[in-house]
Amino acid sequence: MTVRTRFAPSPTGFLHIGGARTALFSWAYARRHGGKFILRIEDTDVARSTPQAVQAILDGMAWLKLQADEGPFYQMQRMERYRAVIGQMLQAGTAYYCYTSKEALEQLRAAQEERKEKPRYDGAWRPEPGKVLPPPPVGVEPVVRFKNPLSGEVAWQDQVKGRIAIDNSELDDFIIARADGTPTYNFCVVVDDWDMGITHVIRGDDHVNNTPRQINLLQALGAPLPLYAHLSMILGDDGQKLSKRHGAVSVMQYDEEGYLPEAVLNYLGRLGWSHGDDEIFSMEQFVAWFDLDHITASAAQFNTEKLNWLNAHYIKQADGARLLAETVRRLGMQGIVTQPTAELAQAVELYRDRAGNLNELATALRPFVVEPTIADELRAQHLTPVALQALQALRAALQDCAWDAAELGQAIKRTAAAQGLKMPQLAIPLRVALLGAPQSPSIDKLLQAMGREQVLARLQRLS
RNA sequence: GUCCCUAUCGUCUAGAGGCCUAGGACAACACCCUUUCACGGUGUGAACCGGGGUUCGAAUCCCCGUGGGGACGCCA
């Protein structure tokens, strides 16, 4: 049996971190078993679905390089198929028309809640042998309800949570088609998973409660049952539930914030899944190791600090040309138009080990591209008359110094000694003069990367 | 309210009855490296939710509490 998994987001917003992890796990499982990963857009909620959201999801998947083998399929394009199946069910008696109005339903629910009961449909229009149904009211378009079994239990072996069983008495006859004829979520999922031959349903555990309904439907249809794996949710950094107005952000925002996709992927792969003590792994390794047995059953709190650590790691590892391109692009976003020069490439190498993210890297590299402004405070503190005099002496010494880190280091040392200064007394003002900041990588390498022309010009401008 | 899921350091987790004096990682702290700041290295502190069972033996199995989460839509 070929493994077939799917990711089935509804396009009502961006692809957020929880969705991304679900997609990653589904993708990896299919890859691991030489199967197929299918992307399906669940857009039957016409009022809330937007083409922008579809695009946002596609963009997020592309950024993470989670390639679908089939799809994207759109449920709105499968209406005919859904209608046909509903027709069959009506015919077979596994579904029926219900004329209870929305308003009546709301009253029913309110009354049940009043009595501290579980709100559910009362089965008024459910046909039973010997039962006399009321005459259909005129002018009311009926909904179609699934005739759920009344007794017994529906159970499955969840691949992450173990056996889960729910009594059919807890379930009611849910609506599979609205009054306007459009099918609803639980029904579409079932038909799609069946038609698309899905073998493993890997999804968020907010769907655990839908599973028994879907299994009953599948059985009514005579369809094979897939295996289910329900992933627990991801909580925000503060332990609170992620929601649109609290902490939930698009995966694309991680790009904007300077994260490398491989860092996000590695972080997500390790969040709620483990492979012994392994923390850092490539997608190749992840695919080779990934299994359902080591998925955590409980909710996991997102930890930005750890993501940052991974991001820093991947920045250290990244290809230099790629980092240079990212730096240029991000400087552009900061309003600084520049080119990927050899000097900038050198500077990238000098700074990559100290950057937590790509935006920090770009920001640190700004002084290599545009003249920094030196804050008055720093100027007063570091560019004292003594320091300025030493810097001019250094400028003279640098005039015809070979432009190489070792030589430059010697020149700085000699100048400091000649001026009766300790190294930091010259090096710190020099940093301030060149970068507008008192900290930097080693000063000799800094000079080398910045280039003779720029260094001398900046020193000259001080006087 | 009813049903379902869940519970190991602050956080992510290892742990499938003896290998656990509970391991790793992030974060924290200390020290080392260093002309600064980082990086890096070394080290320290830090956890089995509570109560009952089962067993020679329980972080691991069972039950009951408690905490956390989810569901109960003509949303997905």
Report the pLDDT value the prediction gives residue A244, as an integer from 0 to 100.
Answer: 62
CA of A150 to C1' of B1 (A): 22
Distance (Å, whole) CA A352 – CA A318 = 9
> Contact at 8 Å (CB) between A25 and A228?
no
Report the pLDDT value the prediction gives residue A204, as an integer from 0 to 100.
Answer: 93
Report the pLDDT value the prediction gives residue A117, as an integer from 0 to 100.
Answer: 80
Contact between the CB of A83 and strand B at under 7 Å: no
Task: Give A372's contacts (C-beta < 8 A, 6+ positions apart).
Answer: A366, A434, A435, A436, A437
Chain B nucleotides close to protein (CB under 7 A) are 1-8, 10-16, 23-27, 34-40, 68-76
Report the pLDDT value the prediction gives residue A74, as an integer from 0 to 100.
Answer: 96
SS3 content of chain A, % helix, strand, coil (to 5): 50, 15, 35
- A 213-252: CB within 7 Å of strand B: 232-233, 235, 239-241
Distance (Å, whole) CA A434 – CA A350 = 15
Distance (Å, whole) CA A409 – CA A110 = 80
> Contact at 8 Å (CB) between A139 and A124?
no
pTM of whole model > 0.80? yes
Report the pLDDT value the prediction gives residue A246, as an integer from 0 to 100.
Answer: 66
Contact between the CB of A42 and strand B at under 7 Å: yes
- Between strands A143-146 and A234-235, the pairing is unpaired
Per-residue pLDDT of chain A (463 residues; tens, 9 = 90+): 799 999 999 998 889 999 999 999 999 999 999 999 999 999 988 888 999 999 999 999 999 999 999 989 999 999 999 999 999 999 999 999 999 988 889 888 888 888 888 888 988 899 988 888 888 888 889 999 999 999 899 999 999 999 999 999 999 999 999 999 999 999 999 999 999 999 999 999 999 999 999 999 999 999 999 999 999 999 888 877 776 666 668 899 999 999 999 999 999 999 999 999 999 999 999 999 999 999 999 999 999 999 999 999 999 999 999 999 999 999 999 898 888 988 899 999 999 999 999 999 999 999 999 888 888 888 888 888 888 888 998 888 888 888 888 888 888 988 888 888 888 989 999 999 999 999 999 999 999 999 888 998 898 887 6
Q: Which amino acid is at A453?
A: E
Q: Is A244 a catalytic residue?
A: yes
CA of A100 to C1' of B73 (A): 14
Report the pLDDT value the prediction gives residue A71, as an integer from 0 to 100.
Answer: 81
Of the candidates A260, A384, A371, the residue with the CA atom closest to the CA atom of residue A325: A260
